[in-house]
Amino acid sequence: MILVNCAWRQADIIKVVESIRLDNQNVFKFVKVEGIRIFFDTFLEDIKGVKLINESIKSIRGYQALGINIVPVVNNSMFDGYNKLLYK
């Protein structure tokens, strides 16, 4: 699971992320929104998923102003995901 933290343009983020395809297969499936947290399920390895989402969000007009943070959810914990990103 991947967590995208962003308060603005959440519908655009969901649309762009769900449209990512590899080998003719959708990579991410929207799960839920909790405040600024947008959760996506994926079959990809965490780091690769984070990179794909980051690149796809750049297609949103004005993405530079969105203040986005993307983190894998590891062991049902975003904190473990932060650690995985830091110590990869």
Q: What single letter denotes the amino acid at residue 9? A: R
Name which residue leads in pLDDT, 87 or 72. Answer: 72
Q: Which pTM was predicted?
A: 0.85
Confidence at residue 85, expressed as pLDDT on a 0 to 100 scale: 61
The neighbouring-strand residues paired with 25 are 22
From its phi and psi, is residue 42 left (phi > 0), alpha (psi between -120 and 50) or beta?
Answer: beta
Residue pair 21/29 in contact by the 8 Å Cβ criterion: no
User: Cα separation of 13 and 78, whole Å?
Assistant: 19
DSSP 8-state secondary structure symbol assigned to residue 42: E
User: Cα separation of 83 and 26, whole Å?
Assistant: 27
Confidence at residue 20, expressed as pLDDT on a 0 to 100 scale: 96
Q: Where are the domains of the chain?
A: 2-86
| pLDDT higher than 60, residue 23 | yes
